[in-house]
Structure 1
Amino acid sequence: MPEAVPTRPRSLRRPARTPAGLATGLVLALVSSGCAGWGGGPGGSGPDSINVLMVNNPQMVDLQRLTAAHFTAETGITVNFTVLPENDVRDKISQEFSSQAGQYDVATLSNFEIPIYANSGWVAPLDDYVAADPAFDQADILPPMTTSLSGADGRLYGEPFYGESSFLMYRTDVLAAEGIEMPARPTWPEVADIAARVDGAEPGMAGICLRGQPGWGQLIAPLTTVVNTFGGTWFTKDWQAEVNGEGFTEATQFYVDLVREHGETGAPQAGFTECLNNLIQGNAAMWYDATSAAGSLEAADSPVKGKIGYVAAPVVETEHSGWLYTWAWSIQQASTNKDDAWRFISWASSKEYEGLVGNELGWSRVPAGKRASTYTIEAYLAEASAFARPTLDAISTADPLNPGVQPRPAPGIQFVDIPEFPDLGTRVSQEVSSAIAGRSTVEEALDRGQQLAQDVAERYQERSG
């Protein structure tokens, strides 16, 4: 029997206060409200009050609803939330943290930003807080999450709120009707063969859905995992660009051919949402993408609930190939309320908070993918039995420091963790999406991408030389 999960958070004590970082500069007025998340700028956090800037994803909205009645009631700390769409919140966080204005104490950052911000001195290390708060149980956080939220100095700078990896989702009934058995650990050639066999198995059904929409967080995320397992890389350890190298080219040609021959209609415009809808509506037999999609596929009102199988991300040369992503909490170095900020983070990322969500809002809404203990809770497993184990396996085997067959100059699985990557990845994705649309060849797309990557590589070669 799993350990019982309390419905109320534990008593949170204050760790020893650490020195605040230096606050400099000004920041634009940002929307904020202590209740609804919208309105005027923050009034400035003070004693027993913190300002939190976060993305407006459903899990964060749930957190906002529960904070006053539970965290504030327990600790006396008021939390003033600013809640914005993803693109907007990234811009605001970048402005706030780069200027060290100190207007916000806590922000949601991903495992892409946190190592970069840590190396820039914009976020505060959390090691001392973790050491002084053993009830938080850092050892329960999945190790790849801890690794991906650490800086080059090895210190911890973020705590995950929820996380994801990637896996292959497929219609078990469609494959069974065709006499096909999905391997538990498929290779990409096996997936391509299955896609060809089930293409058109039902009217309007594509063999597979793969993202083709431009964007470093759209097409480039799954494509880079394919590049990794085919033996390619964006950059070698000594910052040589390899975008038109053999492994990168072979992987991209495979990806483009697969989606053109057996993929969804409108693939050059298809991202996560479009592929999710395709699988739900019966327009695709398979989909390789984020583990977080499973909750929607298994929702009570989903027409494919109970019809989807989940297996490991396909591989070629590597043992695993799933990506790693998390929305996490970090404390601004300039915050003068670091102790209260940690108390909020330690509650929001705690086992107790997951139990609170499960008992008050439903176990399907638990922000999972960060703690091993989540996958021992019977009530959660009852809701997530179809995908819980594959999700845990995918996250647990993700290796952000060694995702391919050769050493890398920077961490990251579906991205390269350098500030230049969003622009580089987006521009290369536009070229590859054009190849998916048939407006150019893969060779032409990657030759242009290589020029862009070489420009980035030269900057790092100069710094290291």
Structure 2
Amino acid sequence: MKQRHSQPYASRYPLHSPIRYLSALACLSGSALAVSVGAAQADTITVATVNNNDMVIMQSLTEEFEKAHPDITLDWVVLEENVLRQRMTTDIATQGGQFDVMTIGSYEAPIWAERGWLEPLNDLPADYQVDDLLGPVRDGLSHDGTLYAVPFYAESSMLYFRKDLFAEAGIDMVEQPTWTQVRDWAEQLHDPDNDVAGICLRGKPGWGENMAFVSTMINTFGGRWFDMDWQAQIDSPAWQEAVSFYVDLLDNYGPAGASSNGFNENLALFSRGNCAMWVDATSAAGKLFNPEESEVAAELGFAPAPVAETPKGSHWLWSWALAIPTSSDAKEAARTFVTWATSQEYVALVGEREGWTSVPPGTRQSTYDHPSYVEAAPFASFVVDAIRNADPLDSSLEPNPYVGVQFVGIPEFQAIGTQVGQMVASALTGDTSVEQALAAAQRATERTMARAGYTD
């Protein structure tokens, strides 16, 4: 029997063995978290998820699911993003069987599916309406044309700004802002005496934290992670320019302690009015536009993610999705849950219970056709267009051999991205220079890619 948990709400890939996959992960923190192995009760499923707002709402609706499915009990493990990813990856690579449902993303789904670690979801009931799922999101969760995870919510990225502060400073937002303009606006709006930072950006290290954002900045400054021969490009002029810009921007106009701020921390700062601008996930829009959760809802503006040398790769494409590991011994119950939690009916339930700005965004066309959502969410058409226009096959100015906008779709990237993220964070805190950080990141990435067999 699994131990019950009591956490609060809170392809173009080479095939690699689980042993090599885990050896790459060792770079994350030196040792993997231990997980217990046990047999699940047939009527209990353990759901591993991230402590983001949409997932907290999902957990809060446990009673609704269990009332409709009295033969299934939900057991939740809710973790901070970096910890969740490491724990799930360790479990699935070792076939530990601790989780029946995993919250994974567009990065993991095709890689794990190729290894046979995920249950295919190609026989979902007709009333689930798979064709209603937005094409780019569905494709990102598929391998060889088969769906292996169903999207809970999906997102691109955008620029949020305080219309009241812009008006007071006499600044007019443009149709497509540039990073140079954003820096100039941040300088004008930075007001630490009144607890307002000119801009908030992710600084917490992690491939899905600071590097999710920094990668898009690298792209639009003309950089890439690897050339067509899989040679690392981290010490290139484009990386130097982009990361120097990022560090200077946050050092001069960011909030105190920016290196500790990820998505949730910046969301809290912006919603309290402590940021004049914030570039991050479109999935935050619903919470920020909700006056019950945001102090700046009435003054919230939005624009496309900023660009520099090129518009390519300036806004990302991501989905948090629910998948069933092959190691689960409660697959049918898990399937019942994942289809419920990603269905049109679930969207309607959240809309009725929590308000329509709180429904999981970015997954279904029917959400964007629903009159209640369109009326409540002025950002709706903007977000769906950003998702449809993000191109993970064409994310940088120079050609590259990988799939991904804010990540590189190879197994080694989870370790590489987090290690590079730690080095970028060290430059942000001033522990090293940008040049030193990127030189160290280049050397570490070269070693990883050589060990994995991509380069000599």
TM-score interval for Structure 1 and Structure 2 normalised by the shorter chain: 0.7 to 0.9
1:32 Cα offset (Å): 4.6
Q: State yes or no: 1:327 paired with 2:320.
A: yes
Give runs of aligned pairs for residues 1-400 of structure 1, distance below 5 A. 30-32=3-5, 44-46=40-42, 49=43, 51-55=45-49, 57=51, 58-67=53-62, 69-70=64-65, 73=68, 77-86=71-80, 87-102=82-97, 104-127=99-122, 129-130=123-124, 133-151=125-143, 153-200=144-191, 203-301=194-292, 302-316=294-308, 317-319=310-312, 321-335=314-328, 338-385=331-378, 387-400=379-392
The 3-state SS of whatever aligns with 1:448 is helix
Cα distance in 1 for residues equivalent to 2:102 and 2:269: 33
1:235 Cα offset (Å): 1.3
The answer to whether the 8 Å contact 1:68/1:78 transfers is: no
Change (3 A) 1:408 1:140: farther
The answer to whether the 8 Å contact 1:30/1:41 transfers is: no
Identical aligned residues as a percent: 41
1:198 Cα offset (Å): 2.6
Q: For residue 417 of structure 2, what is the amino acid of its counterpart?
A: G
Q: Deviations over 1:22-66 (max 9, x none)?
A: xxxxxx954358x9999x9987243xx352422153433443454
Change (3 A) 1:409 1:29: farther
Q: Which of the numbers 410, 434, 437 marks the counterpart of 2:402?
A: 410
Match of 1:440 in 2: 432
Cα distance in 1 for residues equivalent to 2:117 and 2:289: 39
Change (3 A) 1:186 1:458: same
Which structure 1 residue ranges, 5 or more long, are not aligned?
1-27
The 3-state SS of whatever aligns with 2:349 is helix
Cα distance in 2 for residues equivalent to 1:32 and 1:261: 43
The answer to whether the 8 Å contact 1:170/1:286 transfers is: yes
The answer to whether the 8 Å contact 2:218/2:243 transfers is: yes
The answer to whether the 8 Å contact 2:66/2:74 transfers is: no
Q: Deviations over 1:383-410 (max 9, x none)?
A: 322x323322222222223222234333
1:102 Cα offset (Å): 4.8
Cα distance in 1 for residues equivalent to 2:418 and 2:342: 31
Q: Deviations over 1:90-141 (max 9, x none)?
A: 44433442233556443222222222211221012223x14xx333222221
Which structure has the bigger radius of gyration?
Answer: 1
> Considering only aligned residues, what root-mean-square deviation do their CA atoms show, in Å?
3.0
Deviates more, 1:220-229 or 1:171-180: 171-180
Change (3 A) 1:417 1:353: same
Change (3 A) 1:71 1:275: closer
Match of 1:21 in 2: none
The answer to whether the 8 Å contact 1:313/1:320 transfers is: no
**TM norm structure 2:** 0.83
Cα distance in 2 for residues equivalent to 1:78 and 1:374: 28
Change (3 A) 1:72 1:280: closer
Match of 2:30 in 1: none
Cα distance in 2 for residues equivalent to 1:454 and 1:91: 22
Change (3 A) 1:381 1:242: same
The answer to whether the 8 Å contact 1:403/1:412 transfers is: yes
Q: For residue 393 of structure 2, what is the amino acid of its counterpart?
A: L
Change (3 A) 1:273 1:159: closer
Paired residue total = 427
The 3-state SS of whatever aligns with 1:321 is coil
1:310 Cα offset (Å): 0.8
**TM norm structure 1:** 0.82
Q: For residue 373 of structure 1, what is the amino acid of its counterpart?
A: S
Cα distance in 2 for residues equivalent to 1:104 and 1:283: 38
Change (3 A) 1:56 1:209: closer
The answer to whether the 8 Å contact 1:166/1:289 transfers is: yes
Give runs of aligned pairs for residues 454-465 of structure 1, distance below 5 A. 454-460=446-452, 462=453
1:68 Cα offset (Å): 5.2
Match of 1:401 in 2: 393
Change (3 A) 1:286 1:41: same
1:354 Cα offset (Å): 0.6
Cα distance in 1 for residues equivalent to 2:138 and 2:416: 26
Cα distance in 2 for residues equivalent to 1:389 and 1:335: 38
Cα distance in 1 for residues equivalent to 2:265 and 2:286: 16
Cα distance in 2 for residues equivalent to 1:199 and 1:95: 43
Cα distance in 2 for residues equivalent to 1:277 and 1:96: 31
1:335 Cα offset (Å): 4.3
The 3-state SS of whatever aligns with 1:233 is coil
Cα distance in 2 for residues equivalent to 1:249 and 1:238: 21
Change (3 A) 1:61 1:150: same
Change (3 A) 1:68 1:271: closer
Change (3 A) 1:168 1:102: same
